[in-house]
Amino acid sequence: MREIKFKAQNENGTWVFFSIWGINPPLNREKFKNLCEFTGKYDMHGDEIYEGDIIKYVDEFEGEKSYGIVTFGTYDLGCNMGEYQYVVHGWYALLIPGSEDELMRSEILTKEMIEGNVTIEGNRWDNPELLKEDE
């Protein structure tokens, strides 16, 4: 079972990491923003992946880069010729448009995240430029 941990930005914009166990006194929610939960997954360097992180996957054969944002929720993968409906509920990587690999899809990027084949490039609050498509 994964450890339930979070990170949040304090008033100065510094990221503070904590577990829900042993918070004494309780957190003052007004002093923190951008609360992110730990996914239980790690990148290629052993760094913890949190909600809102921007991850990068590099195809080992083609060298093309794909970027995604780590999200929690329900993602509809579509259906298989009308036979099955594929839905992911939980942590997934939503592909950021403009990635080099035109064949990359969110479900493949999510698989690579689960397997630890990605690197963390930043997050949606500190690095909003990573969310924009290449011009």
Residue 128's SS3 state is helix
E-strand ranges in the chain read 5-9, 15-19, 33-42, 48-50, 53-58, 65-79, 85-95, 119-123
Whether residue 128 is preceded by a cis peptide bond, meaning omega within 30 degrees of 0, is no
Tokens standing for 61? Answer: 């054969």
pLDDT of 22 above 90? no
- Split at pLDDT 50, 70, 90, the class of 133 is low
Domain count, the chain: 1
Task: Tell me whether strands 33-42 and 48-50 are parallel, antiparallel or unpaired.
Answer: antiparallel
Q: What pLDDT does 135 receive? A: 43
- pTM: predicted TM-score of the whole model, two decimal places: 0.83
More confident residue, 135 or 103: 103
Q: In angstroms, what CA-CA distances link 41 with 2, 47, 54, 66, 84?
A: 9, 9, 14, 18, 28
Domain that holds residue 113: 5-131
